[in-house]
Amino acid sequence: MNDAELNQWEECIDTCDEAIIRFDGDINPESRHQVAAALFGKGEALRSLGRLQEAMAAYDEVFIRFASATEPELCEAVSVALYAKGLTLWRLDRLKEAIGVYNELITKSGSDIEPSMRSLVALTLSSKGTILADLDQFEEAINVYDETLAILDSVTEPALHGLAAQTLLSKGTALGKLGRQKEAIILFEEIITKFGSATESELRETVASALFKKGYALR
């Protein structure tokens, strides 16, 4: 990171601190949302600077202040902060703690997930599945990938096609680790069929991985 980028993140932290001081204590819903956004923004800036413990403290502050809020904007802010904390714990290789935070987010979302939250919950589940696979807990990972795909089936945004393809790939890889090659191949073929003509670089890379993994499984 060069000096200009460093200064930019430091200025972002200062701006967030100013917003927190300005709106702190104001019970107006818009002001409360400004505080939550500023705390999260501060956490993101700190995480970008590698100050991970401080970043998690900022994310925790969002949760502490607004976990009991009922306003949709604040509920979403809390969930986003939880996801960011889990991601930071993952980066610190504190995998079981990351799973615990992801479980908290998933539980908070409930069984009837708000449409605006489906993409975040799906991303959280997919991340949890990847951590479980990293821990060689492949059966558990597959179950979580299935939960992810069930949510993504109800989401139509093209922007989430990449997550769907990657989740299928991850599930296929986990099946392969368990020696269930025929099931894995079916998933790799599904990726190739669904996304083989995609032009987005992310999807093209996933399709290429599916082709390679299918070939490896057929050996």
CATH of the domain at 135: 1.25.40.10
pLDDT score for 179: 94
Residues 6+ apart with CB under 8 A from 25: none
pLDDT score for 80: 95
Give, for 150, the enclosing helix (H) or strand (E). Answer: helix 138-152
Q: Are residues 219 and 147 in the same domain?
A: yes
Residues 6+ apart with CB under 8 A from 24: 35
pLDDT, average across residues 145-154: 91
Q: Are residues 56 and 129 in the same domain?
A: no
| Backbone torsions φ then ψ of 113, nearest 5 degrees | -75, 130
What residue has token string 């709106």?
23
pLDDT score for 110: 74
State which of 93, 109, 125 marks the end of a domain.
Answer: 109
pLDDT score for 19: 93
**Region of poorest pLDDT, from 30-44, 110-124, 138-152:** 110-124
State which of 65, 87, 109 marks the end of a domain.
Answer: 109
pLDDT score for 200: 93
The beta strands (E) that lie in the chain are given as: none
Q: Are residues 154 and 54 in the same domain?
A: no
Let me know: does 195 contact 165? Beta carbons within 8 Å.
Answer: yes
Q: Which domain holds residue 31?
A: 1-109
pLDDT score for 25: 81
Tell me how far apart the alpha carbons of residues 109 and 102 are, in angstroms, rounded to a whole number: 11
pLDDT score for 112: 66
Question: The dihedral of CA 6, 9, 11, 13: what is its sign?
Answer: negative
Name the CA dihedral angle for 67, 68, 70, 74, rounded to a multiple of 10 degrees.
-20
pLDDT in tens, 150-177: 999 877 778 789 999 999 999 999 999 9
pLDDT, average across residues 61-69: 92
Let me know: does 78 contact 61? Beta carbons within 8 Å.
Answer: no
pLDDT score for 153: 86
Let me know: does 174 contact 133? Beta carbons within 8 Å.
Answer: yes
- Report how many domains make up the chain: 2
3-state secondary structure at position 142: helix
Q: Are residues 96 and 143 in the same domain?
A: no
Q: Are residues 117 and 187 in the same domain?
A: yes
State which of 109, 133, 158 marks the end of a domain.
Answer: 109
Q: Taking Cα atoms as reference points, which of 123, 73, 76, 79 lies closest to residue 101?
A: 79
| Mean of the per-residue pLDDT values of the chain | 92
pLDDT in tens, 87-136: 999 999 999 999 999 999 999 887 667 777 888 999 999 999 999 999 99
